[in-house]
Chains A and B, each alone.
Chain A
């Protein structure tokens, strides 16, 4: 039973790594096809290691935003790592300095899905480390392929990112207050998109939290 559970955990983590690997390939390809140098998505993935923020920062940069606006957009998206850090602090133990870098949506979600401390640790480190390897390898692959592919839109990869976000955030939307706040926030962001600079509509969406 114990090994069966462990196998299922590893299989689920592998599936999520595979799915995010596809997103990583699209991130690398979109960045390079958009005109950024090859090292930008590759180095950014190693040192930032947060898909949503990387897409946001590159999106702002490719839309013509300033470097400061790109970094700000990424940081705004990554602010959620503060509560994540509190949520998994017990899992990191004395390895908090390397472990902190592995705090991502997926590793937090997998850790929170386990109640036994040993399994929480196993889930966090397996997912975090596996994702770090897969994500960076795939971003590099995508960046190398991006030049060859040129037009990634034909592969439909631009719909993978919002689909991943939806799948990750879906369980949180079971809470009625959070759902109302999120709907208001999304409406604000969509209404603001035509007029605000890139990255700012999502910040404006935080006003939706008044309903939470």
Chain B
């Protein structure tokens, strides 16, 4: 990670964020494009969660992590508070590793 890489990421991200507020009241995105943008955001987030839950580098991450995420997923489905979801996911993974399941 270099200073330049962080700056590129920071400036680019701020630019993304500023487009909507700057154009507010001037242009309107077509409904179809707006729908694709929001669907794309959801698709990206789910892909990220799938790869970060199941993979490490180029291989399988082991069982403890996806098991923790699964517990978090069940709690999400049961509408548990955010903090409970996160702590339960981490605690599940930690306990599994403690008893020797990687």
Contact = CB atoms under 8 A, between A and B. Distances in A.
Do A and B bind?
Answer: yes
Contact of B9 (A74, A100, A160): A74
B6 A160 contact: no
B45 interface: yes
Interface residues of B, number: 75
Interface stretch (A115-123, A129-137, A139-147, A201-209): A201-209
Contacts of A156: 64-65, 68, 89-97
A77 interface: yes
A80 B22 CA distance: 16
Q: Is the interface of B mostly helix, strand, loop or mixed?
A: helix
A163 B5 contact: no
Q: Is the interface of A mostly helix, strand, loop or mixed?
A: helix
The interface size bin for chain A is 35 or more
A70 B89 contact: no
Given A43-B6, A44-B6, A154-B97, A209 B91 contact: no
Interface in B42-61: 42-55, 57-59, 61
Nearest to A22: B86
Contact of A166 (B13, B51, B73, B97): B73
Contact of B19 (A82, A177, A178): A82
B52 A208 contact: no
B73 to A, nearest CB: 5
A67 interface: yes
A206 B44 contact: yes
A85 B48 contact: no
B4 interface: yes
Contacts of A189: 47-48, 50-51
A57 B86 contact: no
B42 A178 contact: yes
- 4 nearest CB pairs, A to B: A85-B20, A163-B72, A156-B93, A159-B68
